[in-house]
Structure 1
Amino acid sequence: MSCNGSTEEVLQQVNQFWSMLDDLCVNDPAAYRRLMEKQLKEGAELRPELHSCLCTQTLEPKPGLLYINICSWKRVPAPQDPNSTLPVCAGQLVTGTNEGQGWYAVLDVALNPTVLQETEEDKSDIKEIYMQALSFAQQQHGMQISQEYRVVNCGPKSSPDEIHHRLGFQKGSKTSKQPEKVSHSPAALLQEISSLRSKEQDEDSAAQMIFTPAERQKKDLIQVISTTFVGPQRPEYQLEVKTDTEGAPCAMELTVELPKIRSMSECQLRVSKEDVLLEVEDIYYLIVEFPKTVNEDTASAIFSKKTRRLQLKVDLV
């Protein structure tokens, strides 16, 4: 089967682009470094950032604690004017149990950065946002919660990766359109790729967010932006503490069932002193906290193609 002309043109552009980057890296390392830093900065700016965390008591569906992460996120639009509704993007509600503390729930609420910046000048504004976030949790999730809250540093399951994941980390499906003209100059090609990248980011955002009419009371100033994100599933796993010959804890061993993958190369694995992140794009997503501090430099992972099982072992500090 032969490729059509448009496909060949796209492949030529991709090959030329990588060739340009190689030449730039060799001939002008400083410019190459600036380009890479710019791309990394743009990617980081699209991630939500934790602004503050509220903690309040829940009465229903279970007695416990509710943590609301107030986040700053550029993908949430700013209000059109001071009197308009406040656009808000909410993540998935997650629940769990902490030893000694009992049942808890975590909810992420993201606003445009300009909204939160304005609250630095008027502290009453941030209190209003906090109260609206509590009201939102009650209305959207049928919870009965206390209106008294405290601001804490961070709640459970609230690492940057977890917040990013719950608020809509995904890659939307895109349809490629061939350009009418193919430009072969380095500057034009980089500009074209940059513009296409910006367009794809906008499409991602549109795919993740749907504006829904807000059934507002007189004081309800929040316009809910719900996500259509259906995330990767959480795989089954088992975490064990291994002991040495004298019975003292010496290592952690994590076993994860991954029946939908065939190779270790499909996995992205990150190990820190406190936790491990396992991600298979669009398929699996797992964060596991270690009960004891580990030495991440000793981590080793093996994937069995026969059993489709990943085993990670890391020594304790």
Structure 2
Amino acid sequence: MVTPVSQRDVLQRVDQFWSLLDEMSQNSPGAYKTFIERQLQQGVEHFSPPKPHCCLRTTIQKPNEGLLYVNVCGWKRVPAPTSHIEPVPLCGGRLETIDEKNENYYIVDVAFNPEVLQRAEGDTQEKEQIHLLALCFIQQQHRLNLSQHFTIPKAKLKGSELDMKCRLMALHQSNSSNPKPKPEPAPSLLQQISSLRMEETKEDSTIQLSVRQKEAKARPGLIEVISCTESAQPQQPKHHITVYSDSTDTSRKLKLRVELPGVQSVSQCRLSITQDDILLEVEEMYYLHLRFPEAVNEETCHALYNKKKHLLTVITSIL
């Protein structure tokens, strides 16, 4: 039986840990620097988005005929196989139907650990096995009958990176032959401690924005699926967009205000932005994906979170 831990006990442990860090910084600066750098690097890898690797084009024969694009991407949240005889872990997103003026098709995404894709680059046979493994997984996960023939378009990605990430992060039911999928790694201890510390000490804080840039041998039949930890259905927060002229110059700006009741710290928020849209995620609480009414300069974007009012304000210049 697991004994529940109270918030007071957690905070006491946090204070003890910070005391140990203070002592380490004074008595062993080198070890302290190494520890901090390692924790920061783990945090960066944990929250890094999936990166497109290649796109496969094939056809669905059953239950509904149609063209299918499979985006194969590298994602550090997917663990690498521990040896060449172990199954290759992969993660799949939801299947979507896209209706465009010139083309109607289906699209789905499959993520491998970047090391798996990099290792396969130097071996044509291994690369083909990775592609076949992705198609086999799609057939099992979505109960499709795919053509045995596929092509590789020149473009690495069909659609946008934001849409690819949304499909992979969406809650889905995995059809897997492995009854024990591996969960993604938990945030590092330092990340959790920093979050608690910020909730106690900060009132208004600036959020760091990420700007999205546009950019062992696999054995057929060995499929291992990992599930994402986003198990709760987040809700869309109340928000308001305004466009106004800056009184100091002739430029025009866009302001987005988002109400986030229940959010106690900026460390809970993840923001990413392009010229055309913005994505806000608060794990298990809020999810907001907006298209801007006009193209913006994402390099000028900054955000401020008011802890007392639970209000996030994002301001950026319009191109």
Which interval holds the TM-score relative to the shorter structure? 0.5 to 0.7
Q: After the TM superposition, which residues 161-240 of structure 1 pair with which residues of structure 2 at under 5 Å, given as runs?
A: 162=166, 165-166=169-170, 220-227=220-227, 229=229, 230-233=231-234, 235=236
Which of 266, 281, 284 is equivalent to 2:283?
281
Q: Could you give the per-residue CA deviations for residues 163-187 of structure 1, whole angstroms, max 9, x where no partner exists?
A: 773599x9999xxxxxxxxxxxxxx
Could you tell me the TM-score, scaled by structure 2's length? 0.58
Q: Could you say if the C-alpha distance between residues 290 and 119 of structure 1 is closer, same or farther in structure 2, counting changes exceeding 3 Å?
A: same
Q: Give the Cα–Cα distance (whole angstroms) in 2 for the partners of residues 236 and 9 of structure 1.
A: 32
Q: Could you say if the C-alpha distance between residues 263 and 237 of structure 1 is closer, same or farther in structure 2, counting changes exceeding 3 Å?
A: closer
Q: How much has 1:122 moved relative to structure 2?
A: 1.6
Tell me which of the two structures has the higher relative contact order, counting C-alpha pairs closer than 8 angstroms and 6 or more residues apart.
2
Structure 2: state its 5+ residue gaps.
173-182, 194-218, 246-250
Aligned AA (1:149): T
Q: Could you say if the C-alpha distance between residues 131 and 44 of structure 1 is closer, same or farther in structure 2, counting changes exceeding 3 Å?
A: same
Q: How much has 1:105 moved relative to structure 2?
A: 4.7
Q: Give the Cα–Cα distance (whole angstroms) in 2 for the partners of residues 91 and 105 of structure 1.
A: 14
Q: How much has 1:52 moved relative to structure 2?
A: 1.4
User: Which piece of structure 1 moves more, 220-229 or 13-22?
Assistant: 220-229
Q: Could you say if the C-alpha distance between residues 116 and 288 of structure 1 is closer, same or farther in structure 2, counting changes exceeding 3 Å?
A: same
- Kept in 2, the 8 Å contact 1:50–1:72? The answer is yes
Aligned AA (1:42): Q
Q: Is the radius of gyration larger for structure 1 or structure 2? A: 1
- Kept in 2, the 8 Å contact 1:91–1:109? The answer is yes
Q: Give the Cα–Cα distance (whole angstroms) in 2 for the partners of residues 310 and 74 of structure 1.
A: 28
Aligned AA (1:20): L
Q: How much has 1:39 moved relative to structure 2?
A: 0.7
Q: Could you say if the C-alpha distance between residues 69 and 237 of structure 1 is closer, same or farther in structure 2, counting changes exceeding 3 Å?
A: farther
User: Which piece of structure 1 moves more, 90-99 or 38-47?
Assistant: 90-99
- Kept in 2, the 8 Å contact 1:53–1:70? The answer is yes
Could you tell me the TM-score, scaled by structure 1's length? 0.58
Q: How much has 1:290 moved relative to structure 2?
A: 4.2
User: Which piece of structure 1 moves more, 120-129 or 20-29?
Assistant: 20-29
Q: Could you say if the C-alpha distance between residues 224 and 255 of structure 1 is closer, same or farther in structure 2, counting changes exceeding 3 Å?
A: same
- Kept in 2, the 8 Å contact 1:251–1:313? The answer is yes
Q: Give the Cα–Cα distance (whole angstroms) in 1 for the partners of residues 104 and 304 of structure 2.
A: 33
Task: Tell me the C-alpha RMSD between the 2 structures.
Answer: 5.0
Q: After the TM superposition, which residues 113-132 of structure 1 pair with which residues of structure 2 at under 5 Å, given as runs?
A: 115-132=116-133
Q: Could you say if the C-alpha distance between residues 53 and 120 of structure 1 is closer, same or farther in structure 2, counting changes exceeding 3 Å?
A: closer
Q: Give the Cα–Cα distance (whole angstroms) in 2 for the partners of residues 61 and 5 of structure 1.
A: 51
Which of 54, 66, 82 is equivalent to 2:69?
66
Task: Provide the secondary structure at the position in 2 that maps to 1:150.
Answer: coil
Q: Give the Cα–Cα distance (whole angstroms) in 2 for the partners of residues 302 and 6 of structure 1.
A: 28
Q: Give the Cα–Cα distance (whole angstroms) in 2 for the partners of residues 150 and 65 of structure 1.
A: 12
Q: Give the Cα–Cα distance (whole angstroms) in 2 for the partners of residues 116 and 162 of structure 1.
A: 21
Structure 1: state its 5+ residue gaps.
174-192, 198-218
- Kept in 2, the 8 Å contact 1:232–1:283? The answer is yes
Which of 134, 152, 155 is equivalent to 1:150?
152
- Kept in 2, the 8 Å contact 1:271–1:299? The answer is no
Question: Which residue matches 1:109?
Answer: 110
